[in-house]
Amino acid sequence: MRQLLLPLYIIFFAALSLACKKKTSAGPQDEKPGKLRVLGYLLSDNNWHNAVNSIDLDAITDLNLAFLNPGADGSFSIDPAVKQVVDKARAAEVRVFMSIGGGDAPTHLAELIKPAKRSAFVAGIVALMDQHGFAGVDVDLENELINADYPAFVAELRVALTSRNKLMTAALASWNADKIPDATMRNYDFINIMSYDKTGPWNPGRPGPHSPYDMAVSDFNYFNQARGVAAEKLLIGLPFYGYGFGAGAPSSIWYKDLVAQYAGAENADEVTVNGGGKIYYNGPGTIRRKVAFALSSKAAGVMIWELTQDSRDAKSLLKAVNGKISE
């Protein structure tokens, strides 16, 4: 009997050892348990190691560092202290992605994704990802960068990341995704839906909410139903800022500054300023409503632009997010 049991003990402890190794590995699937992923962008000009101290890592599951872009020659010049950010976040069980591009991305990215320079650009991205221990790459190429070279670039980066068991995500909006083939969209592990900027200071003749609840619903339905992307791959975007229209209103304002300057602003989605102008934004009530929709639609989670714009008190939008998830 003992001779039969000995191999079983060996098998058991071997399996236990493998399980422990898997649990402590730093692969892209590491994550906090929960009903919904909470991804936040952290915007900084190569100073993320200081910016990360202003956010609550316990309140998020994923962190996108925005933006890690190369020079015109394709080389990256990134502060080595970024590795400290990744290590700190991973200690809090937060996945960290390097995000490339952005709404104001360098124009030379258009040259780097062309056939002649594409492979070198991909190799540089992968090298930086490996060097700092990122869980993957977030592709936030917008506007003119969604062009004829975009699908091939995404496909080549996908192959490189898959070989390393890394993730690839994209920040996309319903107004630019129609330029992207279905096959390209399927290359992404997750899509962060930019459900905001329906209007803004660039369109002063069209005042109103730039991120209403019905926009979140229609954007989700576009990607899920019209484009066939599974709900568990979609994150619904939440803005932590507002836009102003009319006399006396700032063109844009962070949520934390808004609630500091206007008493009771956290109880609404718009405020009227001295002069008669208005600021439109998402208050905690609308944020909770969008989170409820993400839960009911079985979405992967919510995405935040941008974490440092939040207040760090009872009026916090991030607290509203987590409060709704935990109900």
**CATH no. for residue 298?**
3.20.20.80
Band of residue 198 on the pLDDT scale cut at 50, 70, 90: very high
Query: Hey, is 104 helix, strand or coil?
Result: coil
Q: Which amino acid is at 209?
A: P
Residue 8 lies in a domain: no
Residue 18 lies in a domain: no
Q: What pLDDT sits at residue 34?
A: 75
pLDDT average, residue stretch 41-46: 94
Which residues, 6+ apart, have CB-to-CB distance to 236 below 8 Å? 193, 195, 216, 219, 220, 290, 293, 294, 299, 301, 302, 303
- Tell me which residue range forms the domain holding 145: 34-240+283-325
Based on the structure, what is the number of domains in the chain? 1
Q: What pLDDT sits at residue 3?
A: 40
> Exposed, middle or buried by CB within 10 Å (0-12, 13-18, 19+), for 89?
buried
Residue 220 lies in a domain: yes
Residue 317 lies in a domain: yes
CA distances from 308 to 41, 52, 294, 326 (A): 9, 9, 23, 23
Residue 4 lies in a domain: no
Backbone angles phi, psi at 202, to 5 degrees: -75, -10
Residue 11 lies in a domain: no
Query: Hey, is 116 helix, strand or coil?
Result: helix
Other beta carbons within 10 Å of 190: 23
Residue 8 in this model has a pLDDT that exceeds 50: no
Share above pLDDT 70 across residues of the chain, in percent, rounded to a whole number: 90
pLDDT average, residue stretch 116-136: 97
Residue 13 lies in a domain: no
More reliable by pLDDT, 1 or 74:
74
Residue 225 lies in a domain: yes
